[in-house]
Amino acid sequence: MKFIFSLVFISTTSAFGAVDILLKAEAMIKAKQNVEDAKQMIARYLTAHETADAYVKVGNLYARVREWPNSVHYLEIASKRDEKNPGILYELGLAQHQNKQTDAAVTSLRRSLTLNPNSEKTYEALGEILELSRDKYDARNIYISALTKMGDRAFFHSKLCWLNFQDNFLAETIAQCRKAVHLNGNDVTSWAILAQAYYQNQQRPQAFDVLKTLLLQHPQSALLYRVRGLIYYSEKAYEQAINDLGRALGLDPNDDEAAINLARSYFELGYYDRALPLYVEACKIDKDYRFEFLSKQRELSRKDHDDLATQYQLEVDKF
C-alpha cells in the first residue's frame, strides 16, 4: 500500500512539474525573453510526454502566444494520435482558421461535428468561418442543422436572421429575427434587422413601432438611430433623416453609413456648406466615398457655386 501511495505522489509531482515548465516557457515567449530556450523547454517536455494530451497543451500554448503555424503543427500531431477526439479537431480548426487555412479549418470542424454532433461551440465556429469566407449557403445550413440538433438557440436564430436579410429573403428574415429577439430581448442587432425587413416588406407601421419601442429601451443605440435615419432618407424625409443620422454619428463617430447619409441629406436640402465636413468625415472612415465627394464638387461647379466647389475640391484632394 505504501508503494502505491508513493507512485501516486511521484506521478502527481511530475504532472505539476510539467505544468510549471509550460507556464514558464509561455511566460518567456510572451515577454520575448530567451525565446529559443523556452522552445527547447517545450521540446524536452514533449520528449518526456509523447501523448495526444501533451501535444494539445503545447498547441494551445502556441495559440495563446499567437504563433499559429506552431499551434497548427502540434494540434495536427495531437489529432493523429487521437483521431476520435472531437475536442482536438475543434481546437485544430480554430488554429487553422487563424493561420489562414480556411479550407483545412472547415474540414477539421466538420470532422469534429461528425464525432460530436451536439457541440454548440463547434457549430458556432464553423458557421462563422463559412460566413467570413462568404459561403452564406453552407453557413445557413450549419445554423439550421444546429437548431435541428439542439433546439431553439438565440444565437443561431440571430445568425439566420442576418443571413436571410442579406439575401433579401424577407419573410424568412422576419421569422428568424422574431425568434431571435423572443429568446434574447437584448439582441439589438436582430431587432434592427427586423425593423428593416418589415419596412422592405411593405410593413411600414410595424417597422416604426419596433424602432420607437426599442429606442425608448436603448436610447444610446447608434444602430437603431441609423436604421430609422436610413428609412427616412429613402423616403426623402431629409429633416427627420438628419435628426436620426446626426444622433447615430454622435453616438458612434466611426459609423460611415450615418456620416455619408447625413452628408447626402444636407446636400439634398441645399445645405452644401454643412454637407462638406460630413463628406470629409465619411471619407476619413472609408476612402471609397471619395468618388461621390468628387461628384458633388462637380455638381456644385455646374450650379455655379464656385466658392463652395473650390472648398470641396481642396478637401477632396486630401484623399
All domains of the chain in start order, with CATH: 50-150 (1.25.40.10)
CA 300 distance to own-chain centroid = 39
Residue that has been written with the C-alpha cell 466658392 in this structure: 307
124 vs 18 pLDDT, higher one: 124
Average pLDDT of the segment spanning 113-135: 96
- Give the C-alpha separation, 273 to 315, whole Å: 12
Residue percentage of the chain with pLDDT more than 90: 91
CA end-to-end span of the chain = 80
pLDDT at 17: 58
- Give the C-alpha separation, 245 to 146, whole Å: 37
Report the C-alpha dihedral over residues 57, 59, 60, 66, rounded to 10 degrees.
150
225 vs 32 pLDDT, higher one: 225
Average pLDDT of the segment spanning 118-141: 96
pLDDT at 3: 35
Flag the least confident range among 44-53, 121-130, 174-183, 231-240: 44-53
CA 259 distance to own-chain centroid = 22
Each residue of 156-198: pLDDT tens digit? 999 999 999 999 999 999 999 999 999 999 999 999 999 999 9
5 vs 125 pLDDT, higher one: 125
Each residue of 32-73: pLDDT tens digit? 989 999 999 999 999 998 899 999 999 999 999 999 999 999
pLDDT at 33: 87
* Local confidence band at 5 (pLDDT 50, 70, 90 cut-offs): very low
- Residues 155, 161, 165: CA angle, nearest 5 degrees: 150
Q: By the 8 A CB rule, do 54 and 60 touch?
A: no
